[in-house]
Amino acid sequence: MNKIFLGTTDIAGQLTDFKKGYESLGYSTFIFTYEKNDLFRENEYSFVLHDIVPKVIQKHRILKKVFTLLVMIPVKYAVFLWAAMTCDIFHLMWFLEKENSLYFKLLKLLNKKIIISFVGSDVRWMPLWIQEFRLRNLSLPNVTLLMENTIRQKSRIGGKLQYVRTCERYADMILSVPEQGQLQLRPYYNFLLPVDLKHIRFNAPDSVRTVVSVGVTEPNFKNSSFVIDTINEFKIRKQHSFDLIIIENKTHAESLELLSKSDIFVYSPFVSGPGKFGIEALAAGAVLLTGYEEDFYNMPEHPPLVKTTPGDFIEKLDYYITHAEERKKLAMSGRQWVEKYGNIDWICEDILIKLANKNISPEYFPGFFRNHASVTSQWDETDAVKICNHWTEYIAGCDWYKHNITPGQREGLNF
């Protein structure tokens, strides 16, 4: 039986979802993570590195550093080496280790298959993210906040490029979406988010008093306070009879139950896609209001969501509060869409088919870095162009690069 290693950071419970899908297809799995995701307390992992730290040490910073150096790091590499010898496929997300290339070299030497899921902030370099938003006329108010955060965080392009290019060089398959692909050069397959429908109660409530819920995950990034305040002001102004639920700091199980009680779920009009939270809302029977750019997020067909902007989301909220029959139709369509395109078994089977068949072409060929990116802005290091060219040279010998990239130069960037 083939064995699949899943790691290393459990973003929105995805490692566990992929585990269920792969195991339903007859594979055994091993999940490694550094620490448990508190919002997904019910998830089971094969090995949690931070669980080996004694409680008495956790409160003492010096002791914890010594324990990390003498125990945790050796244990981590022992587990990685064991996995290299016993697992056949490695599906990794947020695998941010400086030693990536050494481990990838070992895996390739052992003829292992590597799947990389890019999941967001692991590969986004905010100056280029902002540039593409502007190019697409998506310069929403939250972009200003992101600029400020970028300056404060002093995000370095070198670290991001090292991770992206290392993955591009060694992976057998990359899963991603355009919204986070500003640094990418390698063609990639669409990253579809699996949803475990067994744990989502489809309700599509027909309440006399409409229930509107708002999902809060990254309050600043998604301007949650603005969304909540605007809905409350609208409620007072229109004297609508509806209940407002704020879904924040809840466990995954608690969030799913609140979604099942919701008629309408407002994710955020400031984002470019619904994320896993929004897809779960569709599965639970809630009408989903969210920002959505079709070619920026790459969801199959036309998902039955309500595309909103900061300027029109209240108008659309008003419409679906007062049109119960439209809500019901949209709720049914939403559940059907998730059953088809969020199905864990189907997504995992699709990944493995593409992994095994080199004749299946990737869906997307990123072009922003090559055709539009400017790395000489006020946020960048003075040697940003040199850094970019170094990491482009790093992957220039790859077959995919030779087949998809025409040699050239733009603004000092070499290709």
Asked if residue 239 and residue 163 are part of one domain, the reply reads: no
200: in domain: no
Phi then psi dihedrals of residue 83, to 5 deg: -65, -40
Question: Is 100 part of any domain?
Answer: yes
Q: Tell me whether residue 351 is in a domain.
A: no
- 350 falls within a domain: no
Q: What value does the mean pLDDT of the chain take? A: 85
DSSP H or E stretch at residue 179: none
Question: Could you give the dihedral angle defined by the CA atoms of residues 84, 357, 120 and 34, in that order, rounded to the nearest 10 degrees?
Answer: -20
Secondary structure of 98-136 in the HEC alphabet? CCHHHHHHHHHHCCCEEEEECCCCCCCCHHHHHHHHHHC
Residue 30 φ/ψ, nearest 5 degrees? -140, 120
**Domain final residue pick, 342, 368, 398:** 342
Whether the predicted pLDDT of 127 surpasses 80: yes
44 with 70, same domain: the answer is yes
> Does a structural domain hold residue 226?
yes
Rounded to whole angstroms, the Cα distance separating 212 from 321 reads: 9
Do 234 and 287 sit in the same domain of this protein? yes
Is pLDDT at 165 greater than 90 in this prediction? yes
Judgement on whether residues 367 and 334 belong to the same structural domain of the protein: no
* 334/366 same-domain check: no
| pLDDT > 90 fraction of the chain, expressed in percent and rounded | 32
The answer on pLDDT for 303 being more than 60 is yes
Reported as a single tens digit per residue, the pLDDT across 377-386 is: 666 667 889 9
Residue that finishes a domain, picked among 308, 342, 376: 342
Q: Say how far apart CA 357 and CA 361 lie, in whole Å.
A: 9
| pLDDT at residue 275, rounded to an integer | 82
Task: Return the closest-CA partner of residue 346 out of 404, 380, 300, 385.
Answer: 300
What CATH number corresponds to the domain at position 298? 3.40.50.2000
Q: Which residues constitute the domain of residue 261?
A: 208-342
Separation between Cα atoms, residue 340 and residue 346, nearest integer Å: 8
Does residue 148 sit in the same domain as residue 37?
Answer: yes
The confidence score (pLDDT) of residue 90 equals 97
User: Quick one: pLDDT band at residue 3, thresholds 50, 70, 90?
Assistant: very high
pLDDT of 41 higher than 80: no
Q: Are both 289 and 336 inside the same structural domain?
A: yes
Task: Judge whether 129 lies within some domain.
Answer: yes
For the stretch 141-162, pLDDT in tens is 556 565 666 555 566 788 899 9
Joined together, the tokens standing for residue 41 give 């307390």
Q: Are residues 289 and 184 in the same domain?
A: no
* Residue 128 sits in the same domain as residue 244: no
- pLDDT recorded at residue 300: 82
Q: Both 184 and 42 in a single domain?
A: yes
- Residues 15, 51, single domain; the answer is yes
Domain boundary among 314, 342, 370: 342
Is it the case that residue 138 has pLDDT exceeding 80?
no
Model's pTM, two decimal places? 0.89
Q: Is residue 203 part of a domain?
A: no
Which of 48-57, 99-108, 298-307, 366-375 bottoms out in mean pLDDT, i.e. has the lowest? 48-57
What CA–CA distance (Å, rounded) separates 380 from 127? 8
**Count of positions (residues) in the chain:** 415
Query: Is 353 within the bounds of a domain?
Result: no
The total of structural domains in the chain comes to 2
Strand order in the sheet with 210-215: 242-247, 210-215, 264-266, 287-290, 306-307
- Indicate if 332 and 367 belong to the same structural domain: no
| Cα separation, 34 vs 392, whole angstroms | 30
